[in-house]
Chain A
Amino acid sequence: MSSAWRKKRHIFVDGDIDCMIRNLTNRIILIVMIIALALWVDLSDEIKIINPLSNEPLFLQNIEPRLGLDLQGGLQVLLEADIPADQQIDSESMELARSIVQQRTDALGVNENLIQLAGDRRIVGEFPGLADTESVLAIIQQTGLLEFVDTGDFNPEDGATLFTDYSPTGEPVTLPESGEVMYHTIMTGAELDSITVGTDQLGTNYVINFTLKSEGAKIFAEHTSANAGKFLTILLDKQVISAPIINDPITSGQGSISGNFTAESANSFAVQLRYGSLPVPLKVVETRIIGPTLGADSLNKSLIAGLIGMAIVAMFMILYYRMPGLAAVLSILTYAAIAFAIFKWFHFTLTLPAIAGFLLSTGSALDANILIFERIKEELRSGRSIVQALDLGWTRAWSSIRDSNLSAIITAIILFWFGSSFGATIVKGFSLTLALGVMISLFTAIYITRTLLVIFINAFKPKNLDAWFGL
């Protein structure tokens, strides 16, 4: 391409430039709205919409960013159902176990703990900022405190919380407030020997059969003989799970609980009695502790590294591609704002690999722009007008942008699958930000860069292609 040939070209700017893009105004409005929305989410810690009539919040969502364990230190445990591998576990009991672990650890007062199912027989728990692992592990693995409580003539509702005089340490229990009733615990679940589900003599109703250890049998015999017709309430972690009436004295150490059980409810009740509140026994198969100093160090350094990298890249884009490069850098900034807003909105955990995934998807966004710009340059060099070159740049680069990004998304999905079945939250975070980033970047590269470029061309009416496009 000789320069003499280059100089001879004419550029058709006037007249057809305004019709380069349809609905330019609408596009600008849409983009401004998206940016405003993204910045709003980016810059605030919670989103609150107040009803102007009643002054009550219509909508409230906390969107403070979550830092992953690798950034602030903490504990991660992977719990596995302690049941032979060939035995099926239904998803409901795993979900129940998960919510119980969640409740128990919430009670610890740990901030931002996250308990998630990982695959069909594992639960992953994350406790950011926590160094004392012993208390967490102890509370997760405990089987739950089962108590048999004398509530006299009072028939409490299922799920109600009662105060009892039992304390595991043996210290006397004090009531939190006066006016509450303290009930007497006759015995705990430790006295249970075996639990089975059966039917009554008629064979129509389900009952829970239990046998007691010798000490328990004695206590039970005494209590039931003296309190026939009263309620013997069963508590799990101080919550009522059932309040059967004592029909007959139970002196043999064997008894049964009847009620309106279905096969299912009888089974789950039996499981609760057997394992405490956990419907499946859990064992710790993986523990990871990350000290807090290591995490903070990594976060600062990686953020600075990311910024340095981005600055160099922005400089390169503008120097090399000139006006389109500037448009690309602006749209990458928009992309970063949108992506960060989405991560905040959905409460993604920010981990180092997630940040890396984000940076890589930025690369992907740039790639889409570079593909287009190279194409535009090619078309300009072969003598087309700016308008034609822009059009062709986008349409001809599209097939390779589409295909190459789809392949990246396919890989990210596989990674996500791998990460989520093992509680490898690190892998999961990476793949999620990568996949989302690639998708958002497609939008910004195709839509926002193009709009910006048209605005620029309208504003500057470039004549000298060498200077404006860096041919």
Chain B
Amino acid sequence: MNILGKRYIFFALSLILIVPGLVLLGIKGLPLSIDFTGGTLFEVSFEEGKTPETDAILSIYDAAQINDAQVTATENGSLIIRSSFLTNESRDVVLNALREASGSEVAVLKFDSVGPSIGAQVTQRAAIAVAVSSLLVVLFIIWSFRKVPNAFRYGVCAILAMIHDIAIILSITGIGAYFFSWEIDSLFLTALLTVIGFSMQDTIVVFDRIRENSTILRRVEYETLVNHSIVQTLQRSINTQLMTVEFLLLALAMFGGITLREFAIILLVGLLSGTYSSIFVAAPILVLWEKREWTTWFGRGASA
């Protein structure tokens, strides 16, 4: 099976998957949740038929000195009201006003209120968390492959595969944000960091086989050696990812609670991408680097 020979086809495929979502993300902007921006999400439900009009709610918020409230209805009939930071005192004011205006008992399904200063710090820490964990993992790879020539390349290729996976996740988030109003919250971040960890896991399994083979098959050409290693680990990759982890996540996405659905889908796509990128991105780039292929890119024109 010659996987590496078609490497430019796989690169193109990745781009096709990544670009549309990123464009959507560019149009909508990053859909950061209040976890990062600060603000309040208030989900309430009313007795049947007594749900007040949006305008009535907005004027209640206005009376509480908050004029950036947005009301959206959910599929199960409750209302989600987003606004800037609402203190507990003003929440009680709003809640009482809602009770009066609707003449109905109001059930608080959810109240998330994050102060603006916290939001900013969470964002900063999140960026640090992503950066530090990827850096540490790369350093670990370079150390772990120190006996192989060009250990540094393995680290860099692992990062590239990881960036690929992050891009795929952002792409799916862009699509989710555009069509299903997904948000980037701390659970999203958890999914992202998990994908980073497992993406490395997959890349390491492939690289480990290359490491082992390069001591056994010394005289084989590098491209053949890498291709051979990919084929040898292919069954494992398919079984681990498709048959086990993805089944678990698919079950979670399909039958799990609503709270976990977005999380499960992101993990599902991200882990799939992690396996894909270890085979079709990380390893091909290793070969590409070894052969210094970029020197021929422009000479050969569009033959890629």
Q: Which of A's residues lie within 8 Å of B, judged by CB? A: 70, 78, 80, 131, 133-134, 137, 284-291, 293-294, 297-299, 301-302, 304-306, 308-310, 312-313, 316-317, 320, 352-353, 356, 359-360, 362-364, 366-367, 370-371, 374, 378, 396, 399-400, 403-408, 410-412, 414-415, 417-418, 421-422, 424, 426-427, 430-431, 434
Main secondary structure of the interface of B (DSSP, over half): helix
Q: Evaluate contact between B111 and A287: CB separation under 8 angstroms.
A: yes
When distances are taken between beta carbons in the complex, the residues of chain B under 8 Å from A289 are 108, 110-112
Cα(A439)–Cα(B150), bound, Å: 30
* Contact (A286, B109) CB under 8 Å given A417-B129, A424-B186: no
Determine the residue in chain A with the shortest Cβ distance to B87. Answer: A284
Q: Which of B's residues lie within 8 Å of A, judged by CB? A: 43, 87-88, 91-92, 107-115, 117-118, 121-122, 125-126, 128-129, 132-133, 136-137, 140-141, 144, 186-187, 189-190, 193-194, 196-198, 200-202, 204-205, 208-209, 211-212, 232-233, 235-236, 239-240, 243-245, 247-252, 254-260, 263-264, 267
Q: Evaluate contact between B201 and A405: CB separation under 8 angstroms.
A: yes
| Given A309-B250, A359-B248, A360-B267; 20 other pairs, CB 8 A cutoff | A284-B87, A288-B110, A291-B109, A294-B109, A298-B257, A299-B257, A301-B255, A304-B255, A306-B252, A320-B239, A362-B248, A366-B240, A399-B212, A403-B141, A403-B144, A407-B141, A415-B190, A422-B121, A426-B190, A427-B186
Q: Evaluate contact between A309 and B251: CB separation under 8 angstroms.
A: yes
Cα(A316)–Cα(B240), bound, Å: 11
Report the minimal beta-carbon distance from B18 to chain A, rounded to whole angstroms: 22
Cα(A203)–Cα(B50), bound, Å: 72
Q: Evaluate contact between A284 and B88: CB separation under 8 angstroms.
A: yes
Cα(A356)–Cα(B265), bound, Å: 12
* Contact (A312, B144) CB under 8 Å given A352-B259, A407-B200: no
Q: Evaluate contact between B197 and A305: CB separation under 8 angstroms.
A: no
Residue from A286, A305, A427 within 8 A of B256 (CB atoms):
A305
Q: Evaluate contact between A287 and B251: CB separation under 8 angstroms.
A: no
Determine the residue in chain B with the shortest Cβ distance to A367. Answer: B240
Q: Evaluate contact between A422 and B257: CB separation under 8 angstroms.
A: no
When distances are taken between beta carbons in the complex, the residues of chain B under 8 Å from A286 are 113-115, 118
Cα(A297)–Cα(B110), bound, Å: 14
When distances are taken between beta carbons in the complex, the residues of chain B under 8 Å from A352 are 256-257, 259-260
Q: Evaluate contact between A320 and B243: CB separation under 8 angstroms.
A: yes
Q: Evaluate contact between B248 and A306: CB separation under 8 angstroms.
A: yes
Q: Evaluate contact between A313 and B243: CB separation under 8 angstroms.
A: yes
Determine the residue in chain B with the shortest Cβ distance to A297. Answer: B257
Main secondary structure of the interface of A (DSSP, over half): helix
Cα(A378)–Cα(B109), bound, Å: 55
Q: Evaluate contact between B136 and A302: CB separation under 8 angstroms.
A: no
Determine the residue in chain B with the shortest Cβ distance to A321. Answer: B239
Report the minimal beta-carbon distance from A62 to chain B, rounded to whole angstroms: 28
When distances are taken between beta carbons in the complex, the residues of chain A under 8 Å from B113 are 286-288
When distances are taken between beta carbons in the complex, the residues of chain A under 8 Å from B112 are 287-289
Determine the residue in chain B with the shortest Cβ distance to A288. Answer: B112
Determine the residue in chain A with the shortest Cβ distance to B200. Answer: A407
Q: Evaluate contact between B205 and A404: CB separation under 8 angstroms.
A: yes
* Contact (A374, B200) CB under 8 Å given A306-B251, A316-B247: no
Cα(A6)–Cα(B219), bound, Å: 28
The 8 closest A-B pairs by CB, nearest first: A298-B257, A411-B197, A309-B251, A400-B208, A363-B245, A285-B115, A404-B201, A305-B255
Cα(A424)–Cα(B184), bound, Å: 15
Report the minimal beta-carbon distance from B215 to chain A, rounded to whole angstroms: 12
Cα(A407)–Cα(B91), bound, Å: 44
When distances are taken between beta carbons in the complex, the residues of chain A under 8 Å from B107 are 291
Report the minimal beta-carbon distance from A192 to chain B, rounded to whole angstroms: 25
Residue from A134, A299, A305 within 8 A of B252 (CB atoms):
A305
Cα(A412)–Cα(B256), bound, Å: 23
When distances are taken between beta carbons in the complex, the residues of chain A under 8 Å from B244 are 313, 316-317, 363, 366-367, 370
* Contact (A302, B256) CB under 8 Å given A293-B109, A410-B197: yes
Q: Evaluate contact between A363 and B248: CB separation under 8 angstroms.
A: yes
Residue from B92, B122, B126, B248 within 8 A of A313 (CB atoms):
B248
Determine the residue in chain A with the shortest Cβ distance to B113. Answer: A287
Could you give 16 example pairs across A and B, Cβ below 8 Å? A285-B117, A288-B111, A288-B112, A289-B110, A291-B107, A298-B257, A305-B255, A320-B239, A356-B252, A371-B205, A404-B204, A411-B133, A417-B129, A418-B126, A430-B190, A430-B194
Cα(A407)–Cα(B110), bound, Å: 36
When distances are taken between beta carbons in the complex, the residues of chain B under 8 Å from A400 are 204-205, 208-209
Cα(A406)–Cα(B137), bound, Å: 9
Cα(A418)–Cα(B129), bound, Å: 6
* Contact (A294, B110) CB under 8 Å given A301-B255, A320-B239, A426-B190: yes
